[in-house]
Each structure stands twice: as structure tokens, then as C-alpha cells.
A and B are shown apart, each in its own frame.
Chain A
């Protein structure tokens, strides 16, 4: 336990000094990482902990992003944190509204229904130009500073401050979700994944629990979307509601390791690195995504995290064999 805490402190220290050591380019990359990781972990709550595969999580991300863009455009003088939280709540509300339908279906039907809702909002947002700006999207609003009256006022359009803003919110969000998995309700969630019927017969309300999970997952996905909006100062259907936006966190989970809490964070980081390495060939992005899906499912279903465990296993085996040989000699 103490060693964990030590590691955590070390990581925190690295994250704090990071923007002072590296340039704005790397700092912005870390902001994208924070957004992607929060988004992926929120989806993972459904995939790894409730056993539901969603093909439409961009829906919540998009509601959060459009929510932030609309609030910041139309409500001048609103505190930044409030705007971002309200956007997250809007996404949670969407989760609540859809839950009467979503709780009823499972397995493949759930996947198809989420796909349909995701596409539905995509089509709606492209058509209703008056509100969403259609294909062009919403841009150019003035982002208010992050301020605590009398204490500080930070301009989050600066790489340094958006860095702390994004990492702070994302970190808190991930921490909150991690804590949720450790609570009694978190155990009920995991048990629903393993055996929904039994949970029902033990006296738990499966429907209500699932609705809470949809809201929670929607809220944090929306929060990620809102940070995205603040960071980019631009929200468009292609950027936040396109089906590839739903596949991105799915890929992060798969690459990092399905069934683990921290895998998706690792996966987000790895994918971002890969994206940077291949950014000279944007037309290949989709091909690479496809190959990643295929390769991980076929060759490393446990993801990168399991790779570490495998490596450790191999190392231990080697050490063990060496010892055995020494003893034999």
C-alpha cells in the first residue's frame, strides 16, 4: 500500500513539473491524453464493469462538447467550472432519458441500440444548423478565465493553464469512477455484469442501478467532451459525434486491457503516441484503427496491461529456472 502511495506521489510530481520541462506541443498532447483517458474510462465503466458494449458513446461526449460550446457562446460571464459541470450534467441527463430503453436490452441488441442513438444525434446535429452550426460547428467563443475571486484568475487558453485544468478535472473524474467501483453499488454493478438474473433475485434493483451507471458514465464522458470544447475552442459534428469518436475510446480500452480499470488509461496513452508517429499519413488512420482491433482481439485479448503481466511471468520463470539450475549445479 505504501509503495503504491509512493508511486502515486512520484507520478503526481512528474505531471506537475511536466509543462515546465517540455514545450507547449508536448503539453497540448498531454491535454489530449487527459481528455481521451477520461472518455475511455467512462466507457469502460459500461464495457468492463457492466458487461455492455456501446458503439455510441460519442453521444455523451458530443452532448458535453456542444453543451459547453453553447453555454460559453450564449451565457456570458458564467464561471468556467460551472459551464463544464453543467455540460457534464446535460450528458448525464441524456443518459437518464435513454435509460428506460437501454436497460431493457442486452448484448448485441444493446450495442445496436447505442449505435442507433449515436448516429441519430449525429444526423440531427448535422441537420439543425440554427443551433449547432451544422458541418461547420460552433467556434470562436471567448473562454472565461478559471478564477477563484480574490485568489487567482487563470487564462485557460494558455497551454500551461489548460494543462492543469484538463489534467485536474480528468484526474478527479477518473478517481471518482475508481472509487465508485469500490463501493457497494460498484459491487452490484460488477455482479450485474456477471449474472444479472441472480442480482435481481437477491433483491437489488437492476434497472435503477443500470440507470445510475448510464448517468455516471454519461456524465464523465460529457465532462471529457466539455474539456475538449474548452481546449479546442471548436466543436463540430465530425469532431465530437462521428462514429469514429465512439470507436476511439473503445480502441483505448482494447489496447490497454478489457476488464481492468487502469488499462484504458494506458491504452489512451499508447494510441496517442501511435497517432503522433503516424500523423504524416492521416488517410491511413482508419486502416490503422482497424488493424489494431483485429490484432488485439486475435493476438493479445488481455491488452497491453496483460503484456506486462506476461512479461513478468516470463521473467519470474527465467529467474526460477536459473535458480533451479544453480541448485542443480
Chain B
């Protein structure tokens, strides 16, 4: 394999890894939007908080695996509390979806500042666990194992999510709600508890992504803005509420990002927004969505 081809290939897998990570974040966002009609502006903040929690647990125990378990759980718990004590109230404010957007925006700002106050503003490094460090040789291509692990982990979470969605009662209700929001109340289920669970599940997925991302991205207070923008673009481009759309958009954006940095570094952040504007210009509901 020529070195040039190798480089392109490596860049491609990089894009895949980032795309899967992005999907992990965006799918939680999509799930919440599809179910509750709320675009959670603070979603990426939960992602960032989880990365910081990962640093703390890692420093205290030295175990990456423990932090992979604990940090998302902590974040999910916070998510449930936010849903229970804030979002519910906001929905009763009579301002419609504007109230939810502004509320979650407020939460995002507060979380960003709280994180700065707690962990400081300097970037923190997280080491990948020893078992996942180093390179692996795939057909003559040296590639970091950890990035492959991210792809694998995302697939596992995706599988778990599919199991929950297609094999449990909760999943049935969620799918019914995503395709027809009015159905939920008709079904006579305790909608409020389902909403709480879904919101928790969504933030948990952001949390898993946060821990997974910590070793490859520097953990710093701007992490949420960076990931948040990308995730919003994925949700909008893929189509509000469409998980499949989110997957396609995330993978595409991951690659766009990877090759964009390679060829036009100055304009690579612009590409993403331009792409989003282009999609919305031709299909206002996103590629695979049918809601606004």
C-alpha cells in the first residue's frame, strides 16, 4: 500500500470513529426530540460533564472501566432531575417550544460555568486504558486501537438501544410516540414517567460518548460547544426525530470533517454549516425526517 493511500485510509477511519462518536451524542438528542419534541440545547453539556466526571473518577480510582460505568450514570441521573423539576415546569409556561429551548440554553450556560469553576479552564488529558493503548496492524496499516474501540462501543450502544426500542414495552411506547406524538396519551400509559426515562436514556448516551471521547479529545470547557454544534447539525440534517437519518448524517459529517481538515483546513468548520444550509434549502425537514 502506498503511503499516500495509507494516509487517506487512516483519515477515513478517523472520520468513521468521529462519525460514530457523533452519532452516539446525536442519537440521544434525536431520541429526546422524537419523543418529547424538545431540542435539548444542553445535551452536549451533559456530554462534556461526563468527560470531566471521567477525569475525576480516573484520578480517584485509576480505572477507566469504572469511569465508563459511573460517569454516564451520574450524568443520566442529573438528566432525570432536570426533566422532572425543570422541563415539566417549562412546558406549563405557555411559551411553547421557545420555553424549552431557552430553558435548556440556560442550563447549558450554567453547566459550562459550573464546570469551569470546578475543574478550571485548562485542558486535561485522559489516557486510554493500557489494554486499548497502542496501534494495531490492519493489512499493512498501523492504526490506534482506541479509535476502533470507539467504533465498537458505539455499535454496542446502538445494539442495546435497538434492543430496548424493539424488544421492550418502553421501546414500543417510544416508537409509537416518535411516529405519532398524540398516540402516547391515547395509549393510556404514564407519559410523564416515560418522558423522564427517555430523557435519562438520552443523556446517558451523551455520557457514554463523553467518556469515550475523553482520551481522543482534550477535555476542556469548549468541548460542549464544539460537539454541540456538530450534533445539532447532525440532528437537523438527518431529520428531526429520525435515528436512521442521524446515523447517515453523523457518518457523512465525520468524513466531511476528517477530509475537510486534510484538504481545506481554513474552511473546514464552514463546510458543515454550508452543508446544513444546503440540505435545509431543499428539504426543510431534513434528509429523513417529516417534522419541523
Contacts and interface: CB of A to CB of B under 8 A. Distances in A.
Nearest to A107: B292
Contacts of B86: 294, 298
A178 interface: no
Contacts of B90: 297-298
B140 to A, nearest CB: 37
Query: Which of A100, A243, A289 has the largest number of chain B CB atoms within 10 A?
Result: A289
Main secondary structure of the interface of A (DSSP, over half): helix
A151 to B, nearest CB: 47
A116 B276 contact: yes
Nearest to B268: A123
B110 A100 contact: no
B103 A293 contact: yes
A47 interface: yes
Interface in B94-109: 94-95, 97-99, 101-103, 105-109
A124 B98 CA distance: 28
Interface residues of B, number: 47
Contacts of A294: 86, 103, 106-107, 110
B81 to A, nearest CB: 13
A109 B240 contact: yes
B63 interface: no
A287 B270 contact: no
A274 B86 CA distance: 24
A288 to B, nearest CB: 9
A172 to B, nearest CB: 29
A70 B199 CA distance: 47
Contacts of B151: none
Given A120-B273, A127-B266, A258 B106 contact: no
Given A289-B106, A293-B106, 12 more contacts: A116-B277, A119-B273, A120-B270, A258-B95, A286-B113, A290-B108, A290-B113, A291-B110, A297-B93, A297-B99, A298-B90, A298-B93
22 contacts: A55-B105, A105-B292, A108-B101, A109-B240, A109-B280, A112-B39, A112-B232, A113-B236, A113-B280, A115-B232, A119-B229, A119-B269, A250-B102, A284-B113, A290-B105, A290-B106, A290-B109, A293-B102, A293-B103, A293-B109, A297-B93, A298-B103
